[in-house]
């Protein structure tokens, strides 16, 4: 009888890299073979479909998108996406169901889909403002893995911040949903109790930023620029400022320090803005939006 000693397997650098590549390829293949249904092909639904397709995250033919009047979805059909006015057909085709209709439409739609939904197969992603995980569970039951995601309108150019919360999700499902929304901008996972706050900071935030830019344009015109040039300078300046924070992970005040020369024009302008209540009015605006959303929902 000969004893066999099991040696720990050792792989050369090349073999390790090859195995890692194979694992990554397998992971990518798994991702690429998942099928997504988007119920509600309006502004948000089509932006999601286009972003996922353009990024190469999914084959167009693995997306099915629905609405009642499908004539507005022809541009997606041309690219290979399946379009349908039949929600049942969509959930029977797909594993991941993104619900992107108006909140008042969701109850009726989910009631009609309930007999065709299977908690062992389907994962539901709710992107509707103000629709809670519990609201969905009240309609289809507690057995499903659910995600609630709050993107903003920059999802149309794949630059959203999408706040996401989860219910009963595996690590793999969390990672898939993060991968999906990372194609459409950046993502952050939060607790659902922060969803209203996320709506204010992330979604209403686009409007606040637009007002800030608009005010700069108005100021720019008063000091000599035509409207188009002022718009370009104001928008690109804000984009650059945001990128500085995102790429360098600095605090805004550190970047401000770099621009403010002692006795200079920047600090004089900034201080005047603060005397006029700049930061205070922004904070009050954020809190007012938040109170409104909490009281109205």
Ligand X SMILES: NC(=O)c1ccc[n+]([C@@H]2O[C@H](COP(=O)([O-])OP(=O)(O)OC[C@H]3O[C@@H](n4cnc5c(N)ncnc54)[C@H](OP(=O)(O)O)[C@@H]3O)[C@@H](O)[C@H]2O)c1
Q: For binding to ligand X (CB under 6 A), which residues are involved?
A: 39-45, 66-69, 87, 100-103, 105, 109, 127-129, 150-153, 155, 203
For residue 63, report the phi and psi dihedrals to the nearest 5 degrees: -115, 135
Nearer to ligand X, 32 or 294 (CB): 294
Q: Say if CB 72 and CB 103 are below 8 A apart.
A: no
* CA-closest candidate to residue 126, choices 115, 118, 139, 31: 139
- Nearer to ligand X by Cβ, of 155 and 165: the residue is 155
CB of 104 to ligand X, least distance (A): 9
- Smallest distance, Å, CB 160 to ligand X? 8
Q: How many whole angstroms separate alpha carbon 19 and alpha carbon 107?
A: 47
Residues 6+ apart with CB under 8 A from 238: 209, 212, 213, 216
CB of 130 to ligand X, least distance (A): 7
Shortest approach of ligand X to residue 103 CB, angstroms?
5
Nearer to ligand X, 41 or 220 (CB): 41
Strand partners for 63: 36
Residue least distant from ligand X (Cβ): 42
Q: CB-wise, 37 or 217, nearer to ligand X?
A: 37
Alpha-carbon distance values, 153 to 45, 112, 156, 162, 202 (Å): 11, 29, 6, 10, 10
User: Nearest CA to 79 among 50, 55, 57?
Assistant: 50
Is the alpha carbon torsion for 290, 99, 45, 49 positive or negative?
Answer: positive
Toward ligand X, which CB reaches closer, 69 or 261?
69
* Cβ closest to ligand X, residue 220 vs residue 289: 289
Shortest distance, CB of residue 161 to ligand X, whole angstroms?
11
Distance in Å, CB of 165 to ligand X, minimum: 14
Q: What do you get for the CA distance between the two ends of the chain, in Å?
A: 76
């Amino acid at each position: 009888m000969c004893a066999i000693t099991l040696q720990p397997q050792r792989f050369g650098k090349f073999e390790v890299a090859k195995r890692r590549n194979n694992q990554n390829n397998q992971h990518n293949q798994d991702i690429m073979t998942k099928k997504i249904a988007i119920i509600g092909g309006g502004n948000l639904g089509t932006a999601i479909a286009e972003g996922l397709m353009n990024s190469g995250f999914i084959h167009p033919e693995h997306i099915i998108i629905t609405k009642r009047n499908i004539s507005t979805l022809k541009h997606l059909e041309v690219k290979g996406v399946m379009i349908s006015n039949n929600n049942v057909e969509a959930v029977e085709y797909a594993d991941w169901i993104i619900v992107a209709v108006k909140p008042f439409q969701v109850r009726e739609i989910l009631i009609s889909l309930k007999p065709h939904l299977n908690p062992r197969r389907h994962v539901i992603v709710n992107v509707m403002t103000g629709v809670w995980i519990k609201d969905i569970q009240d309609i289809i039951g507690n057995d499903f893995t659910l995600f609630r995601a709050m993107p903003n309108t920059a999802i149309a150019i794949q630059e959203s911040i999408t706040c996401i919360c989860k219910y009963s999700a595996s690590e793999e499902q969390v990672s898939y949903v993060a991968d999906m929304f990372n194609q459409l901008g950046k993502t952050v996972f939060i607790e659902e109790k922060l969803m209203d706050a996320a709506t204010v900071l992330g979604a209403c935030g686009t409007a606040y930023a637009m007002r800030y830019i608009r005010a700069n344009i108005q100021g720019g015109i008063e000091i000599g620029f035509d409207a188009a040039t002022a718009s370009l300078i104001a928008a690109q300046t804000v984009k650059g400022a945001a990128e500085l924070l995102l790429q360098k992970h600095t605090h805004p005040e550190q970047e401000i320090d770099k621009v403010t020369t002692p006795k200079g024009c920047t600090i004089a302008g900034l201080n005047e803005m603060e005397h006029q209540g700049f930061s205070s009015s922004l904070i009050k605006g954020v809190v007012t939006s938040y109170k409104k959303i909490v009281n109205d929902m």
